[in-house]
Amino acid sequence: MATLLTCCLSERDKSQRLTSRDIDRRLNRDRMTFRRTVRILLLGAGESGKSTFLKQMRIIHGVDFDNEDLQEFKSIIYNNIVKGMRVLIDARDKLGIPWGDETNVKDANFVFSFDGNNKLDDHTFLQYVEPMKNLWNDNGIRTAFDRRREFQLGDSLLYFANNLDRIGQLNYIPTKDDILLSRKATKGIIEKILHIRGVPFMFIDVGGQRSQRQKWFQCFEGITSILFLASSSEFDQVLMEDRKTNRMQESCFIFETIINNKSFVNVSVILFLNKMDLLTEKVKAVNISDYFPDFQGDPHNIENVKTFLLRMFDSRRRDKAKPLFHHFTTAIDTKNIERVFRDVRDTILHDNLKSLMLQ
């Protein structure tokens, strides 16, 4: 019958049937890829390190930054440095800190006149380099920098200021470290697919600032795993958004809503207590019990502080039947993230395989 039918079909019908069979095959393949795709959602407050983690995924899995990316990062880095310096100039003034050297006022006025909305090209940036070096050497600016928890300054200015000689060269090209330390707040939803050992992994990066969080729910369906990042060094800082809420409190609050959300009962949520490098430095000088009076132990002992922070997040979970997967991370450190991700990947793939077999 089938043969009879086929022989009665015109050449055109035959080719259309072939095409439709091809489409079916393609759809099936897409469906399989869709089911096999591991979807990892990155969540956490603003500046917790989500986009930095995604940059590491690219670096670790060999998806290099092309020339266009490098130019874009260069512009972001220029902007980070000049804007950061402007913040310090303003803070020195508002905090009433005297200049180390009064003759730096001229340089301060010049740098402060930079319009933050403008994109900096090489030539314009170079004009700011010498004035910024003078300012960075000024005692008044350094005192303002030491009091940075009292205002809003990105975490990477110290690194960039210490590398100003190199970055201020005309033929400057950002290194991997420069890229990892650069900062641009995420707006919207960024999806990036990477093939890791033959398995498609989709990383979904969202903006963590308050205004961005209403977009999160759009990404909640079909998620395999959530990596929740919290910046552990921010226990003495307030939010950029309202300049009064403690950043660590905000982060715990967001974690609480995610971890207890019914949509995620079958999703593994892994907590990353990030910025361990900054936390280790901070606890040497700052007493966490000034901000969290329930802290018990030695406030200058990093292990005591890590245990306290982990318990604080853990205490927000209602369902204690499952253990809380967690890692202490430094997202700018490729080796650290490589090791942590290997562990996370195995856990996720194991869980994913189990659920695929159940389907």
Ligand X SMILES: Nc1nc2c(ncn2[C@@H]2O[C@H](COP(=O)(O)OP(=O)(O)OP(=O)(O)O)[C@@H](O)[C@H]2O)c(=O)[nH]1
Q: How near is the Cβ of 201 to Mg ion at its closest, in Å?
A: 18
Q: How near is the Cβ of 340 to Mg ion at its closest, in Å?
A: 18
**Pick the catalytic residue: 37, 152, 175, 209?**
209
Q: Are 300 and 356 in contact (CB under 8 A)?
A: no
* 124 assigned ligand-binding residue: no
* 263 assigned ligand-binding residue: no
- Dig out the tokens for 137 from the structure: 């050497």
Residue 205 is among the residues annotated as catalytic for this protein: yes
Could you give the angle at the alpha carbon of 188 between the alpha carbons of 186 and 189, nearest 5°? 95
Contact with ligand X (CB under 6 A) among 9, 32, 105, 185:
185
Q: How near is the Cβ of 186 to ligand X at its closest, in Å?
A: 3
Closer CB to ligand X, 75 or 104, in the complex: 75
Residue 16 is among the residues annotated as catalytic for this protein: no
Question: How would you classify the pairing of strands 199-206 and 268-274?
Answer: unpaired
Could you give the angle at the alpha carbon of 356 between the alpha carbons of 352 and 216, nearest 5°? 55
Q: How near is the Cβ of 51 to Mg ion at its closest, in Å?
A: 3
Contact with ligand X (CB under 6 A) among 60, 70, 278, 286:
278
Q: How near is the Cβ of 117 to ligand X at its closest, in Å?
A: 18
Interface of this chain with Mg ion, residues 167 to 196, rule: CB under 5 A: 186
163 near ligand X (CB under 6 A): no
- Dig out the tokens for 79 from the structure: 């902007």
Q: Are 209 and 253 in contact (CB under 8 A)?
A: no
How many separate helices (H) and strands (E) can be counted in the chain?
14, 6
Q: Which does residue 288 bind out of ligand X, Mg ion, none, counting CB within 5 to 8 angstroms by kind?
A: none
Residue 13 is among the residues annotated as catalytic for this protein: no
Closer CB to Mg ion, 132 or 331, in the complex: 331
With contacts defined by CB under 6 A, name the span among 127-135, 142-150, 153-161, 303-311 that binds ligand X.
Answer: 153-161
3-state SS string for 248-259: HHHHHHHHHHHH
Residue 127 is among the residues annotated as catalytic for this protein: no
Interface of this chain with ligand X, residues 25 to 54, rule: CB under 6 A: 44, 46-52
* 294 assigned ligand-binding residue: no
Residue 347 is among the residues annotated as catalytic for this protein: no
Crossing angle for the helix pair 105-112 and 122-136, to the nearest 10 degrees: 140
User: Order of strands across the sheet with 225-231?
Assistant: 189-196, 199-206, 38-43, 225-231, 268-274, 325-328
* Amino acid present at 311: R
209 near Mg ion (CB under 5 A): no
Q: Which x/- pattern over 187-216 shows residues binding ligand X (rule: CB under 6 A)?
A: --------------------xxx-------
Residues comprising the chain, all counted:
359
* Amino acid present at 221: E
* 119 assigned ligand-binding residue: no
**Pick the catalytic residue: 39, 92, 148, 183?**
183
Strand boundaries in the chain, DSSP class E:
38-43, 189-196, 199-206, 225-231, 268-274, 325-328
DSSP string, 237-248: -B-TTTS-SBHH
51 near Mg ion (CB under 5 A): yes
Closer CB to Mg ion, 52 or 233, in the complex: 52
CA distances from 303 to 76, 300, 306 (A): 35, 9, 5
**Pick the catalytic residue: 39, 47, 56, 234?**
47
Nearest residue by C-beta to ligand X? 208
How buried is residue 195: exposed, middle or buried, by Cβ count under 10 Å (0-12/13-18/19+)?
exposed
Binding stretches for ligand X (CB under 6 A): 44, 46-52, 154-156, 180-181, 183, 185-186, 207-209, 274-275, 277-278, 330-332
Which residues are catalytic, by number?
47, 52, 183, 205, 209
Binding stretches for Mg ion (CB under 5 A): 50-51, 186
